[in-house]
Chain A
């Protein structure tokens, strides 16, 4: 009787899946940072393309660079950029103002009175950083929230 049951078991289960299911998990992260804590009080580069804005957004600058005068804090600064509707995630985080950041940007600290001059120069130096793309970038400058 037992043998019959076992044979039936084998026949019915013509294919035996040792393990027919598996899954895995991965965390998704995104840090959203308020960018309105900074005011841009001066800038230099084709001024007709820019207007003074209360929030740190500059658009359609060319690859000659941006000169931005920012006041109101002494803290880490992050410069990020995106083009079209897609961000580039190699955003730049400067731990010190006097720091060469990346291969296509320079960030300079002028004084310690709370006023800083940032020179952001996107040098197109790779295939993914073409001059055409840099023309279409939007630059954001913001405090880094630690």
Chain B
């Protein structure tokens, strides 16, 4: 919005200057790209209640059962998605209830609406939808619980960012 204002300001100054200086001419073009946004469409990344069994286990949350996002921007433009592994900890729970602090890693799995994998750092085109470009993605992932993992509520924050 601020940049659009600057552009308008540029032209306003240009037109204002015409009355003062008649000898200078110039031509230029500018493409204004729609702002990009990513919003949650619902779902969650909640693995629910997991019973510790004394053996290491990988638990998987399928993307279709996870969190849904929609990316909106300029139709036809490609966007880069960035996301990383997340460290989950039960430190807050231990502070409240006692016990041993533990950690484990959440490894995200991101796919698009066609079930094609999305790789962090790669570019993907926004699909034309009228005057807007859209890319829907779903996020799931897996956690690896170790054999001696302490009990408690493990939390972490998954961040996904998009850019042109």
Contact = CB atoms under 8 A, between A and B. Distances in A.
Interface string A89-110: 1010100000000000000000
B155 A3 contact: no
A29 B47 contact: yes
B7 A16 contact: yes
A93 B51 CA distance: 12
A67 to B, nearest CB: 20
B45 A35 contact: no
A17 B3 contact: yes
Contacts of A35: 51-53
Q: Is the interface of B mostly helix, strand, loop or mixed?
A: strand
B96 interface: no
Interface residues of B, number: 70
Interface stretch (A7-15, A42-50, A111-119, A129-137): A7-15
Interface in B103-161: 106, 139, 141, 143, 145, 149-161
B133 to A, nearest CB: 13
B95 interface: no
A20 B33 contact: yes
Interface residues of A, number: 48
Given A4-B24, A14-B29, A22-B161, A55 B156 contact: no
Given A18-B3, A22-B38, A144-B49, A11 B28 contact: yes
Contacts of A33: 49-52, 151
A145 B52 CA distance: 12
B157 A23 contact: no
Contacts of A16: 3-4, 7, 30-33
Contact of A27 (B30, B45, B145, B152): B45
Contact of B159 (A18, A23, A82, A93): A23
Given A2-B17, A3-B13, A24 B38 contact: yes
Contact of A20 (B139, B145, B163): B163
9 contacts: A2-B17, A11-B28, A16-B4, A17-B33, A18-B34, A19-B35, A27-B45, A30-B50, A140-B53
